[in-house]
Amino acid sequence: MRKQTCGVTAVLVLWMVLTAFSASGGENVEGTDSSPAYTIGIGDVLSIQTWKEPDLSLEMVQVRRDGKITFPLLDDIPAAGRSTVELKQTIQEGLTRFVDAPMVTVTLINALSQQYYILGEVQQTGEYPLIKNLTVIQAFALAKGFTQWAAKDRILLYRRNGNDLTVFKIDYKDIVRGQMDKDISLQADDIIIVP
């Protein structure tokens, strides 16, 4: 009888701990994450699946230069500047005229709009995917470092925001000396030039 009581007590304690953990925020509720939702951009490739509706599903659709995609029955839909959840809701609302309770899933297949460029005196110039929160130092590492002729104290980063162009002057040596505030986070379409 005592073994049964201990077992029941252990189960009860475990249930109380799990309940307390769940109530205290142990679950990650959508919208409470501190990182912002990914914003779809021009050139991104998406997969759009409508449950049990193969004719209303697209394996791969690319966001056009005008920021739109074409979807069956709904024609052109704005996609650029929205999250995948916002696009999903728009498609679901549009499909309610044709399908009872449509369930749509929008998945980012390839984030082609999120690229940066590095040119000049680095080992590997070119276009690189902005796959995470990269900084200038990390970009140099991905480009396999500098050539022997690189002017590390005269690096330029060009950032366009609409019609505005901002130029950052970067001194690699300052960052190496510990001035980490000069290690700028990269954004899509940034251009780094190492003279």
Indicate the SS3 state at residue 81.
Answer: coil
DSSP classification of residue 37: P
pTM of the model: 0.66
pLDDT tens for the chain, 195 residues long, are 554 544 444 444 444 434 443 333 333 334 445 567 889 999 999 999 999 999 999 999 999 999 999 999 999 999 999 999 999 999 999 999 999 999 999 999 999 999 999 999 999 999 999 878 899 999 999 999 999 999 999 999 999 988 899 999 999 999 999 999 899 999 999 999 999
Q: How far is CA 3 from CA 7, 41, 100, in A?
A: 6, 61, 54
| pLDDT attached to residue 35 | 62
| pLDDT attached to residue 158 | 97
Q: Which residues of 151-166 are buried (b: 16+ CB within 10 A; e: fewer)?
A: ebeebebebeeeeeee
Q: Which domains does the chain have, with CATH numbers?
A: 45-110 (3.30.1950.10), 115-194 (3.10.560.10)
Query: What length is written for the chain?
Result: 195
| pLDDT attached to residue 24 | 37
